[in-house]
Chain A
Amino acid sequence: MNHQIKLSEQEIISLLLQQDEKGFNYLYDHYAAAIYGIITRVVNEKEYADEIIQDVFVKIWKNIKQFDPEKGRLYTWMINLARNTAIDYIRSKGFQNEQKNQSIPESVNDSEQYATTSNVDYIGMKEVLLQLKQEWRELIELAYYKGYTQQEIAERLDIPIGTVKTRTRNALIELKSLLKDYR
């Protein structure tokens, strides 16, 4: 695979629509790590992440016809697909039973430890999340990685729903400025 080639999203899409293996190779080489990163943070276990990423790529491959460029970029579409698949997975009965049997406490209960208690080691990774103020970090964890609704977050954090919105906005603004330094 030639890493020097940079394809536009439209070009990637046309490769995928033609079911061309090059399309898969390009997609995987350029996006698998980002997708794996999201899934791993949702499920917190490498073993599950390895399983889910397979589903995600199969879904991308099969559902690319439904992707509508009018509604946003391909990358965003894939991120949401990965996130939703992983969140559906942790909400499934089988997964939750397994968690109970292993008597692992629900990781979201302890907001202090979000980014640090997972079973995955993020060696060599700068944890941008750890640089966020705690109230923003826990919001991103709950909303983005655990798929909580506004209502659920409001109840859990004991804050009004309006505050959830403003906090989400502030968290993303802060995240954006932090990410500038990583580019």
Chain B
Amino acid sequence: MDIKEYISSGIIEAYVMGLASEEEIRILDCVQKNNPEVKQAILDAQNTLEDFASQQAIAPPPALKSAIWAKISEESQPENLVEEVPVKPMEAPLYPSSIEPNKVPLKWFAIAASILLVASVALNLYLNSNQNNFKNELASLKAAQKENALAYQNLKSKWDLVTNPTVKAIPLLGVEKHPDMKAMVYFEQNSKEVYLALDNLPLAPKDQQYQLWAIVDGKPVSLGMFDQDAEAAVQKMISVTSAQAFAITLEKRGGSPTPTMENMYVMGKV
């Protein structure tokens, strides 16, 4: 069956509607991993159901919100407690307390000892590889955790800026040559601090950096470089007492004294 036929067979719609059998789901999961066309068709169909859900929305009774939050707070409490595992007393001593000497010939001891040795080596190897697995797992968990914490930090600083009433958010939009690009300047009107977030700008080449400019009385004043090597998504720039507009140009690393106009990407009026 070719892929177009497969897509139009109705299997995707059956899948997103929860109608597909387990076997059909397994096949579809496999196909979509290797076929972007199928994956897109699934996302499109799910999108229809998302729109459907939004259109069919019914506002729940207002009191439910706080009731649900109370329930969540209550139910997530016990999870934090670590269950104590009782230590079981050893049922039998590891080594028999009395070995009856001389009854077993030495040869059997030697054989038993070598078997034990082999078993112990094997166990060691097994435990060692297990430990390596754990180490790798731990490392990837740590990396994921770090990534998450970073995303959260970035989001939080953005959130704090957006919700702060004395902060003015000024969108910088793409100029004619770059219509889709976007950045945000957050201007704290009391302290005159300026923060910059690049929402949609291509990654700057290694030897270049984005430079932020304030247009003050018609003249560009440099507010510094956006450090693309830093992980922070919102960066503090040089403060400025007043500005009529902000703009971003791509300059050589370290910045330029005056903006290179043909490399201007986004700008926004205050």
Contact = CB atoms under 8 A, between A and B. Distances in A.
Interface string B34-49: 0000000011011011
Given A36-B58, A53-B68, A79 B50 contact: yes
B67 A172 contact: no
B71 interface: yes
Interface in A129-156: 129, 140, 143-144, 147, 149-150, 153
Contact of B52 (A15, A18, A50, A128): A128
A76 B48 CA distance: 10
Contacts of A38: 53, 56
A171 B68 CA distance: 35
B175 interface: no
Contacts of A73: 43, 46, 50
Nearest to B69: A24
A14 B9 contact: no
A58 B67 CA distance: 11
Given A19-B76, A54-B67, A179 B58 contact: no
A18 B51 CA distance: 28
Nearest to B162: A5
A34 B56 contact: yes
B46 A14 contact: no
Contacts of A35: 53
8 closest Cβ pairs, A-B complex? A165-B10, A33-B57, A169-B10, A36-B60, A37-B58, A34-B53, A176-B48, A169-B13
Interface of B: 8-14, 16-21, 42-43, 45-46, 48-61, 64-65, 67-69, 71-72, 75-76, 148, 151-152, 155, 159, 162-163
17 contacts: A7-B155, A11-B151, A14-B148, A28-B69, A36-B59, A37-B57, A50-B64, A58-B71, A58-B75, A62-B75, A73-B43, A73-B46, A79-B49, A166-B9, A168-B17, A176-B51, A183-B51
